[in-house]
Structure formats: C-alpha cells, structure tokens
C-alpha cells in the first residue's frame, strides 16, 4: 500500500478519473474528492503533503477551500487550478490562501506530474528544514545548559581553589613555625632522635606545600583562565641565569652543569616566569635522576629561525621507551617509592601545559641507562 500524500479536489468526475489514471504508477498515493467535505475527511485520515484544488466549484471556491487548508494544515503545500486567466483569483490565492503555484487548465499530464513531484519535494524540504531547526534549538538549549553548568562548576572550583589554598596553607605554616620553635630549642631541650622526627615532619610539610602549589597552578592553567604575561626577551639569557642558580645543587652531587647556547637564537615573546619554571623543573629533574656525569642545557634554532628549541640533556639513569609518553601526564612517577615521595609528579605536566599555552611542544628522547634529553620547542612568530 502506497502512502497517500496528494489530494485533488475537483467537482468534475472526468477530471478526477484522469488524475487517477495519470498518477497510477507514481511511488506516492493520490486521493480525489468531489467536494470540500469529502476532501476534509481525507485530510484527517491520510498523510497529505500536497493539495490541488479547482477554483470554480458549486459549494466553495478553490481559494476559500485552500484558505481552510492553510488554517488547519499550514504545512501542506497548496496548488490552485485556474481555468482562465482570472486576475482576481490569482491575487486572492496569493494573499489569502498563500498558494505555492497555479496550474492552468487544461493541464498536460506530464506537466501536472512534474508540478506535483516538485511540490512534494518542496514539502519534504520544508519539513526537513523545520526538523533541523528544531534539532538546532534543542542542541542550543543543551549547550546553553551545559555552559551554565560549567560556569557554576568553574565558579565552584575557583572558590574551592582559593578556599582550599588558604585553608591548607595557613595551618601548614603554623605547624611549620611550631616545629621550628621546638627544633630551635626555645620550647625546651630535644633529643637528637626527636629532632630527627621533627625534621622529617618539616620535610613533609614542604612537600605538601609544593603539592598544593602545583595542583593549584595546574588547575588554574587548565581552566584556561591563566593569562600569559608575554614579553620579548633573550632565551639564552634566561637559560644562563636559571643554570647559574641550579649549578650549586648539581655541584653538591658531584655533577657538572654546563650551557651550550646558539647565538643565532631569534628574539621571542614569552612568559618569563613560566619558562623559568619549565627550565627549573627540567634541570631539577636532570640533577635528581643523575648520579654521575652531569647536565647540559643547550639552545638551538633552525635555518630559517622559525623555531627555537631548548634541550636539557643528562647522563643519568634514562627512561624505558614505553614510559616516556606517560611522564608528561599528572602524577606519573617512575622509580623507587622513596624518590616518588620526594616529588609531586606534577612537574612535567605543568611544563607541558605551559609550553602548550605558548603554542609549542615538549618531548623527551631517552634510553634506559643512557641518559635523557628533555626538550621544548617554541614557534617564533
């Protein structure tokens, strides 16, 4: 059974017979009606998309009928047959019944079929447009709701972060001060064993402080609300000064710390404090995970000076190939438990985020037992 999508209204039976014959082989079904009442009954029963009506009929004019259709079934496409050039009918049809088009009588079967096919297509397009529009409205509303939920979460997180940092840092500071007083002896004598325990407590407080700072830094950056304070500067100069401050740490472990800088480095705008943080962490890591030899910090640029690369190369323990990719994720630490406890496992994640915000990338080349080379590349605009 074909779905009936088209309705013809004409008071002449021979016209309706012709219509039935012409549309017999079409993929859609056609219904015919001899008067308005019959037509309205069909409208109720079937899924009519296109209505074609004769203008001159005894009980109702085509324009009036199509007007009723427009009121009751506004999505149905309306077509009016006009037997002769009737200017009044044309004007009223457009203004009152908003017909889609006219077809002059007598019509040619092929022309009629094309007109109906086009009208059906037009109807489907309107419905599809409406569906898409409704879908868009729903999606928009979903987006709006998701957005406002995010905003609430973001506000909560911000509030949480600042409360958290205050609530955690303040008691930690007073615990540390109290421990200092006890270690210092002002609260009475302490045994070496007690001092040792207190020293450990203090080291853990420092670690907790670092952890809080790192988590908050990372949360702030990942929220997208951190704004880079970019200033044009000489990367070599920054490298030199960071290396200088870390040299004594390296030396105390019996390691060398040298710099090898490319003088052709182009000037670049970057957030100095953030890049210093990256260099500090990479160099601190290199020192931490190297027991013999040392660390070289080098800068490089390409022929066209389109980018700038900084490498921190060490002669340390190296990293298994399979572990290298996950190191830049949060809380990823390798090695022994006691080493892991010393760090927060957030250093490289912070480096990655800072470099990402500069439009660059970080990476590592390493082999177990052969040392590592951590690098970051920044584009020069």
Ligand X SMILES: Nc1ncnc2c1ncn2[C@@H]1O[C@H](COP(=O)(O)OP(=O)(O)OP(=O)(O)O)[C@@H](O)[C@H]1O
Interface residues with Mg ion (CB under 5 A) are 281, 285, 347
Contacts of ligand X in 200-239 (CB under 6 A): 214
Residue 286 makes contact with ligand X by CB under 6 A: yes
Q: Which of 48, 346, 355, 362 binds ligand X (CB under 6 A)?
A: 346
Binding at 363: pick from Mg ion, ligand X, none (beta carbon under 5-8 Å per type): none
Residue 285 makes contact with ligand X by CB under 6 A: yes
Q: Three-state DSSP class for 221?
A: helix
Cβ contact 285:323 at 8 Å: no
Q: Please state the closest distance from residue 285 (CB atom) to Mg ion, in A.
A: 4
- R_g over Cα of the chain: 40
Contacts of ligand X in 262-281 (CB under 6 A): 281
Is omega for the bond preceding 62 within 30 degrees of 0, making it cis? Answer: no
Q: Which of 221, 327, 362, 377 binds ligand X (CB under 6 A)?
A: 327
Residue 246 makes contact with ligand X by CB under 6 A: no
Name the residue nearer to ligand X (CB basis): 54 or 314. Answer: 314
State how far the alpha carbon of 111 is from the alpha carbons of 105, 107, 117, 141, in Å.
11, 7, 10, 45
CB contact burial 304-321 (16+ within 10 A = b; e otherwise)? eeebbbbbbbbbbbbbee
Q: Which of 62, 294, 347, 360 binds ligand X (CB under 6 A)?
A: 347
How far apart CA 222 and CA 356 sit, in angstroms, is 11
How far apart CA 39 and CA 78 sit, in angstroms, is 13
Binding at 286: pick from ligand X, Mg ion, none (beta carbon under 5-8 Å per type): ligand X
Choices 162-170, 197-205, 244-252, 338-346; region in contact with ligand X by CB under 6 A: 338-346
Q: Please state the closest distance from residue 348 (CB atom) to Mg ion, in A.
A: 6
How far apart CA 28 and CA 26 sit, in angstroms, is 5
What does 263-305 look like in DSSP terms, one character per residue? TTPPPEEEEHHHHHHHHHHHHHHHHHT-SSSEEEEEEEE-TT-
Which residues 6+ apart lie within 8 Å of 236 measured at CB?
Answer: 261, 262, 263, 265, 299
Q: Please state the closest distance from residue 282 (CB atom) to ligand X, in A.
A: 7
Residue 294 makes contact with ligand X by CB under 6 A: no
Binding at 327: pick from Mg ion, ligand X, none (beta carbon under 5-8 Å per type): ligand X
Binding at 380: pick from ligand X, Mg ion, none (beta carbon under 5-8 Å per type): none
Residue 295 makes contact with ligand X by CB under 6 A: no
Instruction: List residues binding ligand X (CB under 6 A).
Output: 214, 281, 285-286, 289, 314, 316-317, 319, 327, 332-335, 343-349, 372
């Amino acid at each position: 059974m074909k779905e009936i999508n088209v309705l013809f209204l004409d008071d002449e039976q021979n016209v309706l017979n012709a219509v039935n014959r012409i549309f017999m082989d079409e993929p859609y079904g056609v219904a015919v009606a001899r008067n308005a009442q019959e037509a309205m009954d069909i409208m109720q029963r079937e899924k009519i998309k296109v209505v074609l009506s004769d203008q001159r009929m005894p009980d109702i004019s085509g324009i009036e009928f199509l007007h009723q259709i427009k009121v009751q079934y506004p999505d149905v496409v309306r077509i009016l047959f006009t037997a002769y050039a009737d200017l009044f009918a044309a004007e009223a049809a457009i203004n009152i019944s908003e017909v889609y088009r006219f077809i002059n009588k007598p019509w040619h079967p092929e022309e009629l079929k094309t007109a109906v096919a086009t009208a059906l297509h037009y109807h489907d397009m309107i419905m599809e447009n409406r569906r898409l529009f409704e879908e868009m409205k729903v999606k928009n509303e979903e987006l709006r709701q998701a957005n406002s939920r995010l905003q609430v979460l973001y506000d909560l997180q911000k509030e949480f972060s600042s409360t958290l940092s205050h609530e955690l840092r303040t008691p930690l500071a007073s615990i540390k001060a109290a421990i200092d007083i006890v270690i210092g002896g002002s609260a009475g004598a302490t045994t070496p064993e007690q001092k040792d325990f207190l020293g450990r407590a203090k080291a853990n407080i420092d670690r907790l402080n670092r952890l809080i700072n790192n988590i908050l830094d990372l949360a702030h950056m990942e929220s997208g609300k951190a704004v880079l304070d970019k200033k044009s500067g000489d990367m070599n100069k920054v490298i030199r000064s960071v290396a200088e401050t870390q040299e004594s740490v390296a030396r105390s472990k019996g390691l060398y710390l040298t710099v090898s800088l490319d003088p052709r480095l182009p000037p670049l705008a970057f957030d100095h404090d953030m890049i210093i943080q990256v260099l500090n962490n990479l160099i601190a890591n290199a020192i931490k995970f190297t027991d013999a030899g040392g660390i070289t910090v080098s800068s490089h640029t390409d022929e066209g000076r389109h980018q700038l690369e900084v490498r921190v190369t060490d002669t340390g323990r190296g990293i298994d190939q399979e572990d290298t990719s996950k190191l830049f994720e949060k809380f990823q630490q390798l090695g022994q438990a006691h080493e892991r406890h010393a760090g927060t496992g957030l250093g490289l994640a912070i480096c990655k985020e800072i470099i990402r915000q500069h439009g660059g990338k970080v990476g590592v080349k390493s082999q177990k037992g052969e040392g590592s080379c951590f690098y970051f590349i920044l584009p020069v605009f």
